Amino acid sequence: MPDFNLYKTDRLYRQLYGISEQTLALSRHALGDIEGEFRSIDELSQHRQLRLIKGLQDTGLAESAFGNNTGYGYSDAGREQLERSFAAALEAEEAIVRLQFSSGTHVLATCLLGLLAPGDEVIFATGRPYDTLLDTLSYLRQRQVKVVELDLREDGTINQEALLTGLSGRTRLVYFQKSRGYDLRETFLSREIGRICTEVSQERPGVWTMVDNCYGEFTEEHEPTWYGADLIAGSLIKNPGAGIAPTGGYIAGRPDLLERLSAAMTAPGVGRHIGPQLGFSRILLQGLYFAPLVVGEALKGAIHAARLFELAGYEVSPVPDATRGDIVQVVKLGSEAGLIAFCEAIQRAAPVDSFVTPIPAPMPGYDCDIIMASGSFIQGSSIELSADGPLRQPYAAFLQGALNFASARLGALMALDAVSKVGE
């Protein structure tokens, strides 16, 4: 039975936000059911936090890293310490971490364009990637790069046999997308991806493996690089920035591949030696430092939402007690009105732009309208509470992020209240 303090907090949810007693009772039930999952998340966050602190200590992080550097950014001590710190935190040999990366798509496109040359082949082992990358794939084809999108098995798993059979002397890169995008498949776990990366390397030693790690950082005990992936890449306005990093992205992994990618990032002969951090190294390092804690809060929010909506009769993915590899929670709402009501409620629960009403609209690459809710301090941040989804069957909301559990719970409570009123 929840203690008095939870009931006291629930009265505040009701007084300030008008949450119904029925929804609050379901939430209390959910919290009782997921106590074990919350303890596991706390243990995971502590494990990753302690390893991160040790990594910062071992890299010799000093206050001198917080100084400003301008212009070309030659000998930017802050940038160098930042990149060593990220490499340690992400369990990679080296890392490139730059403000100049404006989005996850920017980072991933840089990797693809930097690694692949005319005549090469890239295999997307997890199916078609995010729609935002499709123009990059078209550009690769124009450069005479063969692009293979390998279908998943019917059960949503990677078709490892087809992948290994499909490797050839032309294959240069095997690409994995960890998170699901708008697909309804499960997230792929780091250990599983790493195992397949190892088998690819054994089958064809010259083939590189890369993981789009967006939404997945710090959600598991280890990153894909720990298990054998050559490269991982992602955005600082997702998990590793903890809602503190104002922009940026990272690539981590093998030094020889990073050297190649640094030429694509800036220019051949210049590589990673330019690109000032403009005094933002401290903020980026603070974001990294808080990332295990903030990701843990987002995971708790996702698990609570999963159990809450499950109790209310909705299909959710992943289920509350599933092993998670990212921060995304899917709730299948079954109707257009339900999806719109869900996203409107998430927007009302936000600390920023809570007065804004999200409106479904067409987006390039999609065959239907998309609705997006995000009231974040950092524009486009998905480690902050947000939700979105395509207006098509099964009208699934893709919920992610929250800098603290209180805001995550508020969003879920308001969303359930809102969808419960649809059709009344």
DSSP string, 191-206: HHHHHHHHHHHHH-TT
Pick the CATH number of 48-289 from 3.40.390.10, 3.40.50.150, 3.40.640.10, 3.40.1410.10: 3.40.640.10
pLDDT for res 168: 96
Q: Name the amino acid, one letter, at 164.
A: L
Tokens in use for 319?
Answer: 């289920």
Dist CA 262 CA 8 (whole Å): 54
Burial class (CB in 10 A: 0-12, 13-18, 19+), 28: middle
Contact 279, 67 (CB under 8 A): yes
pLDDT for res 326: 98
Q: Residue 411 CB: number of other CB atoms within 10 A?
A: 28
Q: Report CA dihedral (334, 337, 340, 343) to the nearest 10 degrees.
A: -60
pLDDT for res 94: 98
C-alpha of 1 from chain center: 34
Contact 105, 259 (CB under 8 A): no
CATH 3.40.640.10 residue spans of the chain = 48-289
Q: Residue 355 CB: number of other CB atoms within 10 A?
A: 9
Tokens in use for 294?
Answer: 């903030």
DSSP 8-class letter at 62? -
CATH 3.90.1150.60 residue spans of the chain = 4-47+292-420
Q: Name the class of domain 4-47+292-420.
A: alpha beta
Contact 218, 292 (CB under 8 A): yes
pLDDT for res 7: 79
Q: For the chain, what percentages of helix, strand and coil (3-state, to nearest 5) are there? A: 45, 15, 40
C-alpha of 44 from chain center: 17
Contact 415, 314 (CB under 8 A): no
Contact 135, 106 (CB under 8 A): no
Mark residue 68 as left, alpha or beta (left: phi above 0; alpha: psi -120 to 50; beta: remaining): beta
Per-run averaged pLDDT (10 residues), the chain, 424 residues? 68 95 97 98 98 94 85 85 95 96 95 98 96 93 98 95 96 98 94 97 97 98 97 98 97 98 92 87 96 98 99 98 98 97 98 96 85 94 96 97 97 98 77
